[in-house]
Structure 1
């Protein structure tokens, strides 16, 4: 909140809800012990900017991607081998890190994000329809952001509400409490996002989203143009009913058109906010392969920097321009607020051109900063509003469940049980995290299975079940499934089987067998409910078996 709160006397939140209400809220946070420490932790030094010539100025971009509603620290990691684990991330610490970084470039910093700030969120944000995360973003003083695929998780109507504000009223506003009672958990005074979003390659066929393709921001007498784009694979990650009104155009073609328009307007420094990513090669963040690298090669040389997202990777690489003159800097800062992008641009004051650029992606170690008090108070209020729901014990695991393997296997068994099915299919990306051995709280369970996709029950012939098994290997690349049920060799093609699969898996283009063979399709609950039922009924006595 550095720019809105130079002396940290009155926060942006106080301006929104009124000083009296804000003081009451912060007093409540103090009761919970969520206050800034009396003595702030020792801050590690932030390198001062290089001296600029009279003809140039250095600007700084601070970027975040793929927060996914992680309001609290997602994990603790060791800074060095043998050292004690240190918390990273959490929006109060993340904001404090951004504030600290901005102090090196006062009046010359722009804060941005590359999408997926909401969606697939933990209970603390998801239960309140990601309104807490939007409010946290508002306090963090972003200047511009773009859309990720998860912003579309609940459709265009809910996305528009998150951007523009208002209480949810589409029927999805009701959530069940621990006793099974429905409650409206959307705030009547929800204000929506208070900074611009841009979306150049997202086409809304109904014309209601209304987001501009670009944004021009001026600092220290120079202009920087931003173009927002989203992965064209978005329909693969979202239910068809929520994407059918949208189309995602080719990323590089879109960027090239918009870059030409920005240059026509006299803007020479151009940055792409891309919810599109890549993966490092052999652990080297300077070498990468993936969608955004391919698209960057096709982008005009007028683009100087790409702030990437989507793949939850740590990238800091350069892509050569196709004309052989110069390159583009491509950076991505992991996910969940565990790190942030810090990009420095030297611009010629006369031409506006970028003459030098560099980047790093610092980790958001919690012991290096004092948490921002207003953001911490916001998080504390929502944690209190859960009323202990997250701390409720679901069951006990005799052994841990890994996201990429055993958890998905157990999820398949759980969905088979929920649907009283003969066979259940679960895709490899069904889970968002792992579960550790021992007692499992509802918070932990929700974070591991936060999609809350509907589990669908249907009848299929053995031939149909066999076709699903075949289709997992026909995709490019293949899409291995976790299966609970009889071996393929035991299937009778003419027999009828009860099958369970979640709605998103059934929507996937490569798995047409569900639509071709499925009969009597109906929802029986969510994947989260299935996993909770499995752990609560079996985890106490028998671990993960059964």
Structure 2
């Protein structure tokens, strides 16, 4: 999305986003009634380390003649070089998990274990999209090249695109992937110009993103790659297909996706599985930026389930043995039909370690054993040290951005964190989000661009507002909350359009919702399973009723103005003026409140009121 981060150096997002209502586990948009329903069996992840995993202690005798293959995977790193937080895996929650340097060490340990036990070098390090974007300042201020350098040090070989690779336009992501220096069109600042530029040496595979003008995959990316695996004198082939989410148009700015078309995931996988089959590849891994979640109760749901059901209706004899998922930032380990599915949460707090065996005679997976493990904190695992090469990349990035990040811009009324979207109340309000829209409404009127209300997609409010022990708020803390630099526009809307926008929060399982300022509303049950709640009444802060036929000025970002997050009510509404970027506006609001002698404080969460029957 361009609902995204450029923010903070340390902890940002720590719990699965389903807790915040940000991630859909509803059926995929391209599912249809003709698809079958495959058996859906949850996997188990009881151990904190691969070394503790009983099935990773030796090669079972029945697989001695097969070729062992290891897949080490991550997804949704989001430039989380230093990010830590709690991570839920299976029935357990691990505290303070994460950091890229510790992730690197655990990947090395897992690969070494596989090499020793299986006597094999058939290890592939893969990622499933959103390497960059929505990231802390030690990535974003360096145009995310520091993240790409860390991935290079971690020896990732194959990756695919997520929606955030489009945040600054796909040409810019391609630039940092290949390590090219910024061009005049990049509009790079001195920090970016001075940063070293070199290739990540990662192969991008993406099969379902094609150019609108010629139907070709952009930048010479390939839809798949084929790797040869060996064991003694035996050989076989394994294929990797990459796909991005077909919901991309609702997740980024129009200018960033307008040149591309995203094809149906299941149909694309079926197409290239058939092509790989004809090339003698009978063992296929899909790297897909599409969401899935396995609950602690063992239920696995989400678009991936629907995609695999559809794939097996189209191509019942497909050879997809492993599906490495991303996008929904949740834990998953399941077997859907004959395909194992894993997702390692997000921001480097976990990783996939999958051991499989391929028959040299048939070329097919004989068995696949997938597991997800946490990146344990130093406190939980003091004997494991951060990878020094990755740690050096992170320290260098911290040193470069430190002066700007640590600049004090204002004060808070209390030396307490103002919590964001991981701490929503029951009506899906959070203090940091409402502080953001309060600031947008204030700054619009200050700049003589009259506005009645302000609304923002909560996906653009990416972190808690961290406050120092003396009440200081730094630039880095503020920009962690509101990082994207989206343009804020004041648009004219009718009361009826405003009501429509508010109602659109309640479809798709509240996957997308708004933070609001200047108005309050009540809502109640609708009796419609597709949109279970509806707005009953709307008023201004002073209690004045909002008329359906009245016209009002509303501050929104350009992402919403393009219909982002499926808020079509905002799309193409008449623009009355612009007040700059969301990032600068939030920083300025904190400065203004401090200068006025009214340090910022957490708003009361009372703007959305549920009215029961």
Bin of the TM-score, shorter chain as denominator length: 0.7 to 0.9
Q: CA deviation at 1:159?
A: 2.3
**Mean Cα displacement is larger for which, 484-493 or 458-467?**
458-467
Residue 75 of structure 1 corresponds to: 85
- Structure 1 residues without counterparts, runs of 5 or longer: 1-41, 176-182, 321-326
Secondary structure, aligned partner of 1:386: helix
| Aligned counterpart in structure 2 of residue 401 of structure 1, from 409, 414, 419 | 419
In the alignment, the residues of structure 1 paired with residue 508 and residue 50 of structure 2 have an alpha-carbon distance, to the nearest angstrom, of: 50
Residue 349 of structure 1 corresponds to: 360
Q: CA deviation at 1:519?
A: 3.3
Q: Is the 8 A contact 2:491 2:573 kept in 1?
A: no
Residue 195 of structure 1 corresponds to: 202
| Aligned counterpart in structure 2 of residue 248 of structure 1, from 238, 258, 262 | 262
Residue 48 of structure 1 corresponds to: 57
- Structure 2 residues without counterparts, runs of 5 or longer: 1-48, 116-120, 425-429, 446-450, 521-537, 540-544, 605-613
Q: Is the 8 A contact 2:243 2:286 kept in 1?
A: yes
1:122 equivalenced with 2:136 (yes/no) = yes
**Mean Cα displacement is larger for which, 336-345 or 513-522?**
513-522
**Mean Cα displacement is larger for which, 231-240 or 528-537?**
528-537
Secondary structure, aligned partner of 1:360: strand
In the alignment, the residues of structure 1 paired with residue 97 and residue 173 of structure 2 have an alpha-carbon distance, to the nearest angstrom, of: 28
| Aligned counterpart in structure 2 of residue 419 of structure 1, from 444, 451, 455 | 444
| Aligned counterpart in structure 2 of residue 410 of structure 1, from 418, 429, 435 | 435
Q: CA deviation at 1:545?
A: 3.9
Residue 76 of structure 2 corresponds to: 66
Q: CA deviation at 1:217?
A: 1.4
1:544 equivalenced with 2:574 (yes/no) = no
1:519 equivalenced with 2:600 (yes/no) = no
**Mean Cα displacement is larger for which, 332-341 or 359-368?**
359-368
Secondary structure, aligned partner of 1:310: coil
In the alignment, the residues of structure 2 paired with residue 444 and residue 415 of structure 1 have an alpha-carbon distance, to the nearest angstrom, of: 17
1:503 equivalenced with 2:558 (yes/no) = yes
Residue 375 of structure 1 corresponds to: 390
In the alignment, the residues of structure 2 paired with residue 343 and residue 55 of structure 1 have an alpha-carbon distance, to the nearest angstrom, of: 19
In the alignment, the residues of structure 2 paired with residue 197 and residue 542 of structure 1 have an alpha-carbon distance, to the nearest angstrom, of: 44
CA RMSD of aligned residues (A): 2.9
Q: Is the 8 A contact 1:173 1:186 kept in 2?
A: no
Secondary structure, aligned partner of 2:599: helix
Deviations 1:330-357 (A, max 9, x none): 0000000100001110111222211111
Deviations 1:126-180 (A, max 9, x none): 00110111111111111211111110111122122123331222544334xxxxx
In the alignment, the residues of structure 2 paired with residue 387 and residue 139 of structure 1 have an alpha-carbon distance, to the nearest angstrom, of: 22
| Aligned counterpart in structure 1 of residue 345 of structure 2, from 330, 334, 337 | 334
Residue 333 of structure 2 corresponds to: 316
Q: CA deviation at 1:516?
A: 4.9
Residue 211 of structure 2 corresponds to: 204
In the alignment, the residues of structure 2 paired with residue 119 and residue 125 of structure 1 have an alpha-carbon distance, to the nearest angstrom, of: 8
| Aligned counterpart in structure 2 of residue 531 of structure 1, from 586, 598, 606 | 586
- Call closer, same or farther: CA 1:483–1:198 in 2, change over 3 Å: same
**Mean Cα displacement is larger for which, 187-196 or 62-71?**
187-196
In the alignment, the residues of structure 1 paired with residue 508 and residue 310 of structure 2 have an alpha-carbon distance, to the nearest angstrom, of: 26
- Call closer, same or farther: CA 1:57–1:397 in 2, change over 3 Å: farther
TM-score by length of 2: 0.73
Aligned residues: 486
Residue 32 of structure 1 corresponds to: none
- Call closer, same or farther: CA 1:422–1:335 in 2, change over 3 Å: same
| Aligned counterpart in structure 2 of residue 448 of structure 1, from 481, 495, 501 | 481
In the alignment, the residues of structure 1 paired with residue 193 and residue 281 of structure 2 have an alpha-carbon distance, to the nearest angstrom, of: 41
Secondary structure, aligned partner of 1:98: helix
Q: CA deviation at 1:88?
A: 2.2
In the alignment, the residues of structure 2 paired with residue 491 and residue 54 of structure 1 have an alpha-carbon distance, to the nearest angstrom, of: 72
In the alignment, the residues of structure 2 paired with residue 173 and residue 475 of structure 1 have an alpha-carbon distance, to the nearest angstrom, of: 37
Matches within 5 A, 1:182-331: 183=190, 185-187=192-194, 189-206=196-213, 207=216, 208-220=218-230, 221-281=235-295, 283-284=296-297, 286-299=298-311, 300=315, 301-320=318-337, 327-331=338-342
TM-score by length of 1: 0.82
Q: Is the 8 A contact 1:173 1:184 kept in 2?
A: no
Residue 104 of structure 2 corresponds to: 95
Deviations 1:4-54 (A, max 9, x none): xxxxxxxxxxxxxxxxxxxxxxxxxxxxxxxxxxxxxx9966743424544
Residue 26 of structure 1 corresponds to: none
- Call closer, same or farther: CA 1:359–1:409 in 2, change over 3 Å: same
1:158 equivalenced with 2:188 (yes/no) = no
In the alignment, the residues of structure 1 paired with residue 333 and residue 511 of structure 2 have an alpha-carbon distance, to the nearest angstrom, of: 29
